[in-house]
Structure 1
């Protein structure tokens, strides 16, 4: 199970770093199908989707496994895959690039001391070229048949669910996986490649809406604002971040703190998906992040009404059920929820310089938002010499002085002796009193 989780995380990381290219390809599709009606934009979109992106994924996979040299070998391996034009070129490019990068690093480490002086560049170039081509050939003969069958099997299953009208039921799988931080893998590693396959036969795909719908999260947060008056200021900012910023992780802690709310999220997601299905709504490309703005940008204008209705319905259903679930707890906040107050300043400063790393699943969502907000907070507090970064859990550097993550995500962190501060919600600055006190000279050296 642990190995499977690491593989999924690795694949999700590679996909996430290619998201800007996916969004660009989708935007080109939107423009080419809209008022511009430009066939060259459509061709550019296809080139990005079926050539540039797979090759780039091979490069990224090779770089992760074998450094710069591994990236070159991964590019060659991915190019060999793309030449065959398989239905699963993106996944196979990542696999081929990973193999080429891994063997590149291992092989060069073994032979670098045996290369005759003056022949280093020749041997290295020949080794990289041969390794990249061998990885491509291996993928072509052994991996393509298996991957093509798997993609076809999964795709046919989902398309059958769409035809039978039961696609909304996938909410029973998506929502539980989202709140345990598998949201990026579900969207980028599963729905994205299958959605691109569906675009080959349809003008749009509902698969791009199944995970990115911000309605359930919006409903959870709105319910907290309605039930708990002293949380409204915090909830209003969270609602904006979640719906317009597309940072869905912001509502996960609230569901994890009261698991009954998961039923409300599933019901809202199911209702929204049913609306998408009935109205025939879909997107022309992936929406990342899952913001109302990016969703509308990636949707054809003829689908706007159905998309907006689906989001609003899912938010309303989730909010109503969440209010009913939490009504018995009104006025009885947990200790974590009561920890919403202004931070007290401490005059004695101890930390003159520190590198703080905000950590989330892929290092591009809630951690980036939290890092930007915390930088502003440091300026207000007059703290200088503090550097703030955001990374994924598997890329925390050795020079990190402090690690910050959501409490519910802490179990995914690698073992470390670095001070680790956990908060209920990364983007809620009211939860950083302990970290600020530590930076100013008070408090303990972090919590694991």
Structure 2
């Protein structure tokens, strides 16, 4: 087993890549916690609009409610009519009843509140929501972009205002000052947003929407994969999907009932094809782990799991780009799309959000994207196979270790330690692994949900099997790290950001959350620490 590298630097990492990731994560973190609301809106739209699955203009509301008595019937009729009623008096959850208020008010306000909380807690969320009402009322389109601006901006300004009289308020007047300052600032921001921000955001949304429509009409939308796929691999997938494509897609879906934009990033085909190629033509640990990763990516919807396979051989990004372009081209040809965001990007979530007239196009887009990425990735892997085998450190050694472990029928930390010297998947450990007692381990990823939850589950099982007690393993977003974690595990590309958030923690970076050899090192470290602590207590 390799030793843990000790570093004493406390410099906060920087660099353009980290700043871009941080900004993208901030945008996506405003949307991702509210994805259930988007999904609920998508299902309501699918079920009850005039072309929905359960739309029925022949409902006999009197017959349905006849058994409830006259007063109950009148009450229920009033409630249903308030909920929604079309021009002919047919009871149905139509555009003007439930769908429109949700997309106009609920979803933007949820985003604004989340963004405000991220900046300044509950107080920031309240002021950000008040300010967002200005852009909502002052525009004729759903104000997702406006909410992503006004929510954090209102919270930030509230924070600065509070600093003006911090520790200067006389005892007994705190609540009065706090409530009135937030109310007055919220009022001013709402008015300012109504007259100033709403027209600008509406213009910007029309420009972005026009650009997307132009790409579609010019049959150039598949070129978007040239930017989307590399951005995903650099862990900007959530920022691209939820920060940019989801707001535009929701506006488009409101008008047409579906949007192709929901599938630009969420299509599981490109990643699935790459992982199947690695399963057949890969080497060593990459080949051994790819089948399980393919299942998790395709069914579980955790796209981050295939990013390390691309990073270990950057040429594979060509397969992802061409696969993504293929999927988009098929959807453009069939005019297919989704009703609402598919989150996570699982084939199950994708199909659940597919309208009836788009099933053929969506399914073919997934199959086509997977087929193209598989073919291109296979060609690249086959072409470089001899070179990788000749390199030794990334090829035949890892293959030999994988074969030996297969023959033994179990994993070996000693054999994996051999691979750690040259295998890219081994990751590296950074931090003071000997002085700090590890009791709180946190897996951190961009959103704190998919890939980090999977990694935490894997390590939790390893710790349990090792008989280690008193150690908690959890997962959270990098932005939420508060420095209390003893040990933080992140994917290699995200480690710099994690160090900036929690500089005093031990930081371990891995390339694959699913089966990194570093997990055994962490388990051994914790066991050794507990053994040393027990010995110390016994000698006292």
Give the alignment's TM-score, normalised by structure 1.
0.91
Q: Which runs of at least 4 in structure 1 moved beyond 6 Å after TM superposition?
A: 349-352
Between the aligned partners of 1:56 and 1:283, the Cα distance in structure 2 is 22
Aligned to 2:364: 309
Residues 320/356 of structure 1: CA separation in 2 closer, same or farther (3 Å cut): same
- TM alignment of 1:116-265, pairs within 5 A: 116-228=170-282, 231=285, 232-265=287-320
Does the 8 Å CA contact 2:103/2:142 hold for their aligned counterparts? no
Between the aligned partners of 1:418 and 1:40, the Cα distance in structure 2 is 52
Aligned to 1:434: 521
Residues 316/392 of structure 1: CA separation in 2 closer, same or farther (3 Å cut): same
Relative CO higher for 1 or 2, CA cutoff 8 Å, sep ≥ 6? 2
Aligned to 1:445: none
Aligned to 2:25: 9
Residues 439/116 of structure 1: CA separation in 2 closer, same or farther (3 Å cut): closer
Does the 8 Å CA contact 2:438/2:487 hold for their aligned counterparts? no
- TM alignment of 1:8-87, pairs within 5 A: 8-32=24-48, 33-37=51-55, 39-40=92-93, 43-87=97-141
Does the 8 Å CA contact 1:351/1:440 hold for their aligned counterparts? no
Between the aligned partners of 1:153 and 1:124, the Cα distance in structure 2 is 39
- TM alignment of 1:415-434, pairs within 5 A: 415=500, 416-428=503-515, 430=517, 432-434=519-521
Does the 8 Å CA contact 1:25/1:46 hold for their aligned counterparts? no
Between the aligned partners of 1:414 and 1:25, the Cα distance in structure 2 is 38
Aligned to 2:325: 270
Q: Tell me, which stretches of 5 or more residues in structure 1 are unaligned?
A: 443-448
Q: Which of 479, 482, 485 does residue 400 from structure 1 map onto?
A: 485
Between the aligned partners of 2:473 and 2:266, the Cα distance in structure 1 is 28
Between the aligned partners of 1:375 and 1:418, the Cα distance in structure 2 is 19
Between the aligned partners of 1:328 and 1:384, the Cα distance in structure 2 is 48
SS in 1 for 2:300: coil
SS in 1 for 2:442: strand
Between the aligned partners of 1:51 and 1:423, the Cα distance in structure 2 is 41
Give the alignment's TM-score, normalised by structure 2.
0.76
SS in 2 for 1:56: helix
- TM alignment of 1:103-122, pairs within 5 A: 103-122=157-176
Does the 8 Å CA contact 1:168/1:273 hold for their aligned counterparts? yes
Between the aligned partners of 1:353 and 1:4, the Cα distance in structure 2 is 31
Aligned to 2:88: none
Between the aligned partners of 1:325 and 1:4, the Cα distance in structure 2 is 30
CA deviation profile, 1:363-415 (whole Å, cap 9, x unmatched): 12211222223222322222221111212222212210001011233233343
Does the 8 Å CA contact 2:139/2:202 hold for their aligned counterparts? no
SS in 2 for 1:359: strand
Q: Tell me, which stretches of 5 or more residues in structure 2 are unaligned?
A: 1-15, 57-91, 406-410, 415-433, 530-540
Q: How many residues align?
A: 439
Moved more, 111-120 or 219-228: 111-120
Between the aligned partners of 2:295 and 2:480, the Cα distance in structure 1 is 29
Does the 8 Å CA contact 1:215/1:311 hold for their aligned counterparts? yes
Residue 5 (structure 1) shift: 4.8
Moved more, 411-420 or 366-375: 411-420
Does the 8 Å CA contact 1:357/1:404 hold for their aligned counterparts? yes
